Amino acid sequence: LERDAFAARFEEGRTRDGHRVEVAANLGNTAHTADAVERGAEGVGLLRTEFIFMAHAEAPDLDTQVAEYRQAIEALDGRPLVARTLDVGGDKPLPYWPVPQEDNPFLGLRGIRLALTQPDVLETQLRALLTAATGKPLRIMLPMVKDIAEFRQAKAIHDRLLEEIPETERATDVQLGVMIEVPSCALLAPSLAEEVDFFSIGTNDLTQYTLAIDRGHPELSAQADGLHPAVLRLIQMTVDAAHARGKWVGVCGELASDAQAVPVLVGLGVDELSVSARQVPMVKARLREFDLAEAQHQARLALAQATSEAVRDALEAL
Ligand code: PEP
Ligand code: MG
């Protein structure tokens, strides 16, 4: 089966009855983009740009960043790139950007909160992304957003750059989205969906914050299961709100490559799954195993359970 999946890796992501679901790759290193394409990735659904920053002894300047992002854009040859702006703090410290000692780093200065304390760093990154993608489409997303105020602050910088940089020197078709990783954003998705271009659900953090379980906890992390019905309801709210406004929704957390979760996510209406590059053939093969009506049935079944164990048992029993 794995051989078959690999042989069919360049087919578009579709369910058995042809319902389209884009399968993209998560990357932390732009040098791996060509490899992801070779494994069948239809784009990059999450470029974790913090790893580019971590690979340098000091903040990479504009030209260094442009060269980095260009490597991904060129290897993608027109396929979509979703670049996430710097997501440090929490479990990902950046030596040259010290964050004060915090009792709860996961509830502290991280993601967009941290980035907005130094808007010039965010501005340089956005400028680098926009200019690296000259003449090409580009999707940019913001990590750890908790409400629309943070989105608007970042969007103001983004919009100013779009005015400032001549159109011939920057990306042409730019989408600005937010990650749904904090429950408040899923709950407020209907109003957010009016202003963002897309959502990408980070189920690793969304599960952590919904269940109040540290995703890296040595004993508890196994219980941080994204198939928990509470997490699934937040995903449902997010997708419904986005689709009501004609916006698309991806999932870029680990749940996207969980064989039991794939039909549930598709049944909830998710448009894109972004997974580690080596999982791309498997996820595409999984999509071909069910049709949309079955997926919707599985989603309804999962939503009706009370615990993640009950969800997995109910899906297993089908
Ligand atoms: C997530 O939280 O699900 C996510 C994709 O982001 P990261 O794992 O990089 O925090
Ligand atoms: Mg995250």
Length of the chain in terms of residues written: 318
> How many angstroms separate the alpha carbon of residue 202 from the centre of ligand 1?
5
Q: Do 22 and 13 form a contact (C-beta atoms < 8 A)?
A: yes
The conformation of residue 226, written as its DSSP 8-state character, comes to T
Pocket test for ligand 1, best of 46, 205, 207, 234 (most atoms within 8 A of CB): 205
The conformation of residue 20, written as its DSSP 8-state character, comes to B
d(C-alpha 82, C-alpha 140), whole Å:
6
Q: Ligand 1 site: residues with CB under 6 angstroms?
A: 46, 48, 87, 181, 202-205, 252-253
**What pLDDT tens digit does each residue of the chain (318 aa) get?**
789 999 999 999 999 999 999 999 999 999 999 999 999 999 999 999 999 999 999 999 999 999 999 999 999 999 999 999 999 988 788 989 888 889 999 999 999 999 999 999 999 999 999 999 999 999 999 999 999 999 999 999 999 999 999 999 999 999 999 999 999 999 999 999 999 999 999 999 999 999 999 999 999 999 999 999 999 999 999 999 999 999 999 999 999 999 999 999 999 999 999 999 999 999 999 999 999 999 999 999 999 999 999 999 999 999
